[in-house]
A = this chain, B = another copy of it.
């Protein structure tokens, strides 16, 4: 084992893993750097600041781009299979964090590339060890899985409601009251049904206000449906009734995960083959 190889391995542990103190410290530092770079991007978008500190902030952004570039090269260097990393999701995101900074030299209108930078924030999840969190919170996912079909029914119903009411309001109110087209009517229906209520487009005719009232009361009531579905599924998942097997004697449907006997009638849940032999 040469020194170069062992150095690469040690670097790999630090950069890619989070279970050593050095690895944890590296990831935490990286998180801070990413947050700072995001902050600079956000602050740079404020006009009064951009006017006064544009050059200064450009230099800082350049610094961040350099740091991320070095980090990217190190990751390529210490990765056992560099190509696999380069084309993995995180590899591409890491590359995307550098490219806009480089492009900004040639094209000053880098405004639209800012959005690419923000994807880096996904790394927060890696640093926060969301894996551990999600393992703890697998109930959340189980609840979402269990309620998938019910939620599709709900979303289709909402889409239909929104299209129907959007068209209805376009016909009732018309362009002179701000409902200039059916898409605008649908936009208004979504704003109203979700109880956001911007107030940029409002019904002005009495009939339009009556239809709006119906939309609002529907929106206010059906918020109970996703909440109810999700809560009931989550409660179900948390109760941990995972073994679905009818007890042959008392027909109890759900049992503890590792149950061998029914907790209600005490009978064996599964016939023992050896006995019958």
Q: Known interface pairs A47-B175, A198-B197, A227-B228. Does A255 touch B263 (Cβ–Cβ under 8 Å)?
A: yes
Return the chain B residue nearest A132 by Cβ: B149
* Given A156-B124, A262-B263, A45-B170 contact (CB < 8 Å): yes
A150–B234 CA distance with the chains assembled, in angstroms: 12
Identify which of A69-77, A87-95, A269-277 touches chain B.
A269-277
Give the interface segment out of A15-23, A57-65, A113-121: A113-121
Across the interface, do B197 and A191 meet the contact criterion of CB distance under 8 Å? Answer: yes
**Within 8 Å CB of A268, what residues of B?**
265-266, 273-274
Q: What class of interface size applies to chain A in its complex with B?
A: 35 or more
- Judge whether A96 is part of the interface by a CB distance below 8 angstroms: no
Which of B190, B256, B269 contacts A265, CB < 8 Å?
Answer: B269
B-chain residues with CB within 8 Å of residue A130 when the two chains form the complex: 153, 156
> In whole Å, how far is A125's beta carbon from the nearest beta carbon of chain B?
7
Q: Is A180 an interface residue (CB 8 A)?
A: yes
B residues within 8 A CB of A219? 194, 196
Residues in B whose Cβ lies below 8 Å from that of A153:
130, 133-134, 137, 140
* Interchain CB contact (< 8 A) of A128 among B156, B167, B192, B199: B156
Minimum C-beta distance from A148 to chain B (A) = 10
A226 to B218, CA, bound (A): 12
Residue of B nearest to A149 (CB): B136
DSSP class of A's interface residues: helix, strand, loop or mixed? helix
Residues from chain B with a CB closer than 8 A to the CB of A83 are none
Residue pair A216, B190 in contact (C-beta under 8 Å): yes
Residues of B near A258 (CB, < 8 A) are 252, 256-260, 263-264
Tell me whether A245 and B236 are in contact (CB under 8 A).
no
The answer, yes or no, to whether A13 is at the interface (CB within 8 Å) is no
19 residue pairs from A and B, CB less than 8 Å apart = A42-B181, A46-B180, A118-B163, A134-B153, A137-B150, A140-B225, A183-B209, A192-B196, A194-B220, A197-B197, A200-B202, A221-B226, A232-B235, A235-B236, A259-B263, A260-B260, A260-B261, A267-B270, A268-B273
Sample of 7 more A-B contacts, CB < 8 Å, known A137-B149, A221-B226, A245-B250: A47-B180, A187-B209, A196-B196, A225-B230, A259-B263, A260-B264, A265-B272
